[in-house]
């Protein structure tokens, strides 16, 4: 009896000892896995803090496995331990105790939940335990982006379906990165399994845990046409709509950017509202924010100004700064750079040498011409003076004339060597923009947002601006005239890059001043899980220079015909500028030349008749003029008065037509060419009231051309006068 009792006691003691030894061995094996897990978190993610969550109650205590896990995590990472059971959700605790959760989402903090099935005696299921933690996180700050969560579960049972249900519930709570590591302490091979769930493909994955595998798999590379709900609002220029083709076409600055991100991630955009066409004409109001707060939409799709009161109620998703800049044309001013020393030599030294030689000749009694320095300059520039009578003096004078011709040639050619530099107007300050005579345009939505009234120069700009509903109208005006367009920096960079001529030279530039820098936010629903990925795409698009491209039609803004014409005009004017400078410099040394260009006005029919210009009239209307009038006899007859209008573009003629047709043609010329090519005069003709308009001579020559024309004519006349005076004096 005693032997049997002793044997039973020994067997029981050996069983207890084997259990203890087995437990120690498994604890050491689990320690190795936990140490590798802690090291992987530190190596792959480098978190600023690892927040460890446990739930210690009377029914559940901290197990040996949980304690080992906490020590390993705290040894390799900055860590904080939070006991959910002892955490009271008061305002004080939310601000002080839970700082790590509130201030460190996703990249900053990794949350680790430790659950041990053997130490939990509450009787709750695995899903209930996990949901308790997840609801706790959501209750702390339901607006914040959900952090990355790693659930370490110690259990010797396989609960694969429970794992899948828990990960689906985590996605329901907007947790994008939620992974489970299942560790079985009693497994002989000390194996652990890693569980993932992809909500976009609705698939779960179970794999053997290895430190070389990612704990949090990137799921946003392809979302498999997962729907994203965007609310349509009429908010130009950020979001605009068109129904011209019968289909809804959406475009705009911010929507184009958001659409770029959704296409990159392979989302399917779902527009909110049953009647999209009616909804598209609504603007952002309080109802729009209520829909967003209730989770009926994912985002509004447009960026709005950062408002503290709104951010307290709404979730701030995507943020960026936007500057208001001025798009200015590249206006060139011509600067002449010549050698001042050479000019002084030609103006002073050479005339002085000639005068010295002349004085020496007079002193030696070779010639008897007595000229002063002014007379020498006159001879050099071909201005007639009193010529000598003696043959010797005449020969010397002829030689001096030839010298003056060679001198003039060298002098003018030296002027032609001057460099013409093209300098750009800088617009480097608000004052330069305000002082510019150019028209300034801005979108009416941007006036109060980006143009502060504190700066006096900005106030002057505000007083001059013209408001537009679409800033693209201003960009189109740059092709025809010099204007200043005020737009966002991203839009301006796009225009600067695309607005080129045929030589790939810029036609516009961004003024180096910024009117305002404002923080814009795209409000999203609470805990929007794609914010981080969208922000990366926006930053990449901005660095690549493709953000934004809101209006595709700007890619064809370069009108080759207009551009080539402008370039040819610049080439043709180069020689004209040099010639004009040469002529004005040569004759400006002695006297000023004032060339005034006045329009020839025909104030009466008598002035039209006395004009040397050809006059044309339609054949059907000749009967309205008296046949015996001398003015009628010199009028040309055309079958169509339009042929006379065509002649206006090539030569100066007068076309007789009706007042209505004259006004119409004048408007057409103003619209197409941008300048008045011909105008009409009003006069009560003594012969008929039906002809009250007459065309004026065509202003074919520009003012620069007229100046050069008159200068050249005066040069020819001066040469002829000098030559005739010289011949006359020689013959006498």
418-421 long-range CB contacts below 8 Å, 24 or more apart? 418/336, 418/337, 418/338, 418/578, 418/581, 419/336, 419/337, 419/338, 420/334, 420/335, 420/336, 420/337, 420/574, 420/577, 420/578, 421/334, 421/335, 421/337
How many CB atoms are located within 10 Å of the residue 649 CB?
12
The reported pLDDT for the residue numbered 199 is: 93
- Is residue 593 within 8 A of residue 714, CB to CB? The reply is yes
The CATH code for residues 12-208 is 3.40.50.2300
716 vs 201, higher pLDDT: 201
- pLDDT tens digit string along 135-178? 888 887 777 778 889 999 988 887 888 899 999 999 998 898 99
Q: Which two tokens stand for residue 403?
A: 């010298």
Report the alpha-carbon angle 150-152-156, nearest 5: 150
Return the H-helix or E-strand segment holding 703.
Answer: helix 703-731
Residue 432 has pLDDT above 60, yes or no: yes
Q: How confident is the model at residue 575 (pLDDT cuts 50, 70, 90)?
A: very low
Q: E strands, 76-129, where? A: 79-83, 109-116
| DSSP-derived 3-state class of residue 92 | helix
Our measurement of the distance from residue 162's CA atom to the centroid of its chain's CA atoms, rounded to an integer in Å, reads 52
Nearest to 722 by CA among 400, 305, 355: 400
- Is residue 200 within 8 A of residue 218, CB to CB? The reply is no
The reported pLDDT for the residue numbered 593 is: 33
- Is residue 601 within 8 A of residue 679, CB to CB? The reply is no
The highest-confidence range among 243-252, 358-367, 438-447, by mean pLDDT, is: 438-447
411-426: average pLDDT? 55
End-to-end CA distance of the chain: 174
Q: E strands, 11-91, where? A: 49-54, 79-83
CA-to-CA separations, 723 to 3, 190, 371, 545, 718, in angstroms, rounded: 157, 118, 20, 67, 9
Domain boundaries, the chain: 12-208, 220-337+419-563, 338-417, 582-620+634-665+675-719
Strands 516-524 and 508-510: unpaired
- The number of helices, as runs of H, and strands, as runs of E, in the chain is 26, 25
Q: How confident is the model at residue 124 (pLDDT cuts 50, 70, 90)?
A: confident
210 vs 321, higher pLDDT: 210
The reported pLDDT for the residue numbered 91 is: 40
Return the H-helix or E-strand segment holding 327.
Answer: strand 315-329
Q: What is the DSSP string of 562-612?
A: HHHHHHHHHHHHHHHHHHHHHHHHHHHTT-------------SHHHHHHSS
Handedness of CA 723, 727, 729, 730 (dihedral sign): positive
The reported pLDDT for the residue numbered 706 is: 44
Nearest to 97 by CA among 111, 83, 112: 83
Phi, psi (deg, nearest 5) at residue 260: -60, -45
Rounded to whole angstroms, how far apart are CA atoms 388 and 362? 13
How many CB atoms are located within 10 Å of the residue 554 CB?
18
Rounded to whole angstroms, how far apart are CA atoms 526 and 295? 7
Return the H-helix or E-strand segment holding 411.
Answer: helix 391-416
- Is residue 302 within 8 A of residue 488, CB to CB? The reply is no
Residues 6+ apart with CB under 8 A from 143: 314, 315, 526, 527
- pLDDT tens digit string along 300-354? 777 776 665 565 556 666 666 677 788 888 766 555 555 566 666 666 666 676 6
The reported pLDDT for the residue numbered 519 is: 67
Q: How confident is the model at residue 594 (pLDDT cuts 50, 70, 90)?
A: very low
185-209: average pLDDT? 83
Q: Which two tokens stand for residue 387?
A: 């010529």
Q: How confident is the model at residue 482 (pLDDT cuts 50, 70, 90)?
A: confident
The reported pLDDT for the residue numbered 194 is: 92
The reported pLDDT for the residue numbered 428 is: 77
Phi, psi (deg, nearest 5) at residue 571: -65, -40
**Sole residue written with tokens 């003696």:** 390
How many CB atoms are located within 10 Å of the residue 435 CB?
11
Our measurement of the distance from residue 312's CA atom to the centroid of its chain's CA atoms, rounded to an integer in Å, reads 32
- Percent of the chain surpassing pLDDT 90: 4
Rounded to whole angstroms, how far apart are CA atoms 198 and 718? 94
Q: Which two tokens stand for residue 660?
A: 């209505």
Q: Which two tokens stand for residue 206?
A: 């179970």
Q: Which two tokens stand for residue 718?
A: 């001066």
Rounded to whole angstroms, how far apart are CA atoms 378 and 130? 107
598 vs 658, higher pLDDT: 658
The reported pLDDT for the residue numbered 111 is: 87
Strands 439-443 and 466-468: parallel
Q: Which two tokens stand for residue 313?
A: 């109620």
* pTM given for the model: 0.52
**Whole-number average pLDDT of the chain:** 67
Rounded to whole angstroms, how far apart are CA atoms 442 and 243? 26
Q: Which two tokens stand for residue 491?
A: 């839009």
Handedness of CA 628, 632, 638, 642 (dihedral sign): negative
96 vs 201, higher pLDDT: 201
The reported pLDDT for the residue numbered 313 is: 57
Residue 520 has pLDDT above 80, yes or no: no
- pLDDT tens digit string along 46-104? 887 888 888 776 556 777 888 888 888 888 888 888 887 776 544 434 433 333 334 44
The reported pLDDT for the residue numbered 532 is: 79
Rounded to whole angstroms, how far apart are CA atoms 581 and 418? 10
Q: Which two tokens stand for residue 410?
A: 């060298």
Rounded to whole angstroms, how far apart are CA atoms 236 and 255? 10
Q: Which two tokens stand for residue 193?
A: 């399994």
Same fold, 12-208 and 220-337+419-563: no
Residue 114 has pLDDT above 80, yes or no: yes
CA-to-CA separations, 234 to 19, 161, 239, 241, 649, in angstroms, rounded: 72, 47, 6, 7, 48
Nearest to 85 by CA among 124, 48, 37: 124
The reported pLDDT for the residue numbered 577 is: 47
Instruction: Name the class of domain 220-337+419-563.
Output: alpha beta
Rounded to whole angstroms, how far apart are CA atoms 631 and 594? 36
The reported pLDDT for the residue numbered 271 is: 79
Rounded to whole angstroms, how far apart are CA atoms 279 and 514? 36
The Cα diameter of the chain in Å comes to 174
């Amino acid at each position: 009896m005693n032997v049997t009792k002793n044997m039973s006691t020994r067997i029981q003691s050996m069983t207890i000892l084997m259990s203890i030894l087995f437990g120690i061995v498994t604890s050491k094996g689990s320690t190795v896995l936990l140490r590798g897990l802690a090291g992987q978190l530190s190596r792959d993610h480098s978190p600023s803090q690892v927040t460890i969550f446990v739930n210690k109650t009377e029914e559940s205590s901290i197990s040996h496995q949980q304690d080992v896990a906490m020590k390993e995590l705290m040894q390799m990472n900055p860590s904080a331990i939070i006991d959910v059971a002892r955490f009271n959700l008061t305002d004080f605790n939310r601000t002080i105790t839970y700082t790590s959760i509130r201030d460190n989402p996703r990249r900053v903090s990794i949350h680790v939940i430790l659950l041990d099935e053997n130490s939990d005696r509450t009787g709750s299921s695995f899903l209930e335990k996990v949901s308790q933690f997840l609801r706790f996180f959501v209750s702390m700050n339901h607006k914040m982006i959900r952090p990355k969560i790693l659930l370490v579960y110690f259990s010797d049972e396989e609960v694969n379906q429970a794992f899948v249900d828990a990960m689906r519930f985590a996605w329901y709570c907007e947790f994008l990165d939620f992974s489970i590591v299942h560790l079985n302490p009693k497994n002989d091979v000390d194996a652990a399994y890693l569980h993932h769930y992809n909500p976009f493909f609705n698939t779960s994955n179970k794999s053997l845990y290895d430190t070389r595998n990612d704990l949090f798999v990137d799921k946003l590379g392809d979302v498999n046409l997962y729907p994203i709900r965007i609310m349509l609002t009429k908010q130009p220029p950020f979001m605009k709509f068109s129904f011209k083709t019968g289909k809804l076409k959406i475009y705009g600055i911010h929507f184009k950017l958001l659409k770029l991100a959704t296409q990159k991630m392979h989302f399917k955009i779902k527009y909110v509202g049953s009647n999209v066409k009616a909804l598209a004409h609504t603007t952002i109001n309080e109802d729009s924010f209520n829909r967003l707060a209730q989770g009926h939409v994912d985002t509004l799709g447009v960026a709005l100004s950062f408002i503290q009161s709104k951010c307290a109620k709404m979730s701030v998703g995507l943020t960026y700064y936007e500057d208001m800049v001025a798009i200015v044309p590249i206006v060139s001013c011509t600067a002449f750079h010549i050698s001042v020393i050479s000019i002084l030599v030609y103006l002073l030294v050479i005339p002085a040498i000639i005068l010295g030689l002349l004085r020496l000749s007079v002193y030696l009694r070779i010639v008897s011409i007595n000229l002063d320095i002014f007379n020498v300059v006159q001879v050099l520039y071909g201005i007639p003076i009193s010529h000598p009578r003696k043959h010797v003096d005449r020969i010397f004078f002829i030689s001096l004339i030839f010298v003056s011709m060679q001198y003039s040639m060298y002098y003018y050619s030296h002027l032609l060597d001057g460099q013409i530099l093209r300098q750009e107007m800088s617009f480097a300050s608000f004052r330069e923009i305000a002082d510019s005579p150019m028209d300034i345009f801005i979108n009416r939505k941007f006036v109060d947002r980006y143009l502060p009234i504190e700066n006096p120069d900005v106030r002057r700009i505000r007083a001059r601006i013209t408001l537009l509903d679409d800033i693209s109208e201003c960009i189109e005006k740059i092709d025809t005239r010099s204007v200043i367009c005020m737009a966002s920096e991203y839009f301006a960079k796009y225009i600067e890059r695309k607005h080129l001529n045929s030589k790939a030279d810029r036609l516009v530039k961004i003024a180096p001043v910024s009117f305002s820098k404002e923080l814009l936010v795209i409000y999203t629903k609470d805990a929007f899980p794609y914010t981080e990925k969208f922000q990366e795409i926006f930053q990449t698009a901005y660095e690549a220079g493709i953000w934004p491209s809101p209006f595709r039609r700007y890619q064809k803004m370069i009108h080759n015909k207009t551009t080539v014409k402008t370039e040819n005009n610049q080439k043709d004017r180069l020689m004209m500028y040099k010639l004009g400078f040469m002529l004005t410099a040569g004759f400006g040394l002695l006297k000023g030349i004032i060339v005034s260009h006045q329009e020839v006005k025909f104030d009466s029919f008598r002035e039209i008749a006395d004009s040397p210009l050809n006059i044309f009239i339609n054949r059907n209307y000749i009967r309205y003029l008296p046949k015996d009038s001398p003015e009628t006899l010199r009028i040309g007859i055309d079958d169509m008065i339009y042929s006379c209008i065509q002649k206006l573009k090539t030569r100066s003629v007068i076309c007789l037509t009706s007042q209505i047709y004259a006004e119409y043609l004048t408007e057409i010329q103003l619209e197409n060419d941008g300048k008045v090519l011909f105008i009409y005069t009003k006069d009560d003709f003594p012969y008929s009231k039906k002809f009250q308009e007459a065309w004026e001579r065509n202003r074919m020559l520009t003012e620069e051309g007229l100046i050069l024309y008159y200068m050249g004519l005066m040069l020819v006349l001066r040469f002829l006068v000098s030559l005739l005076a010289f011949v006359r004096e020689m013959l006498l």
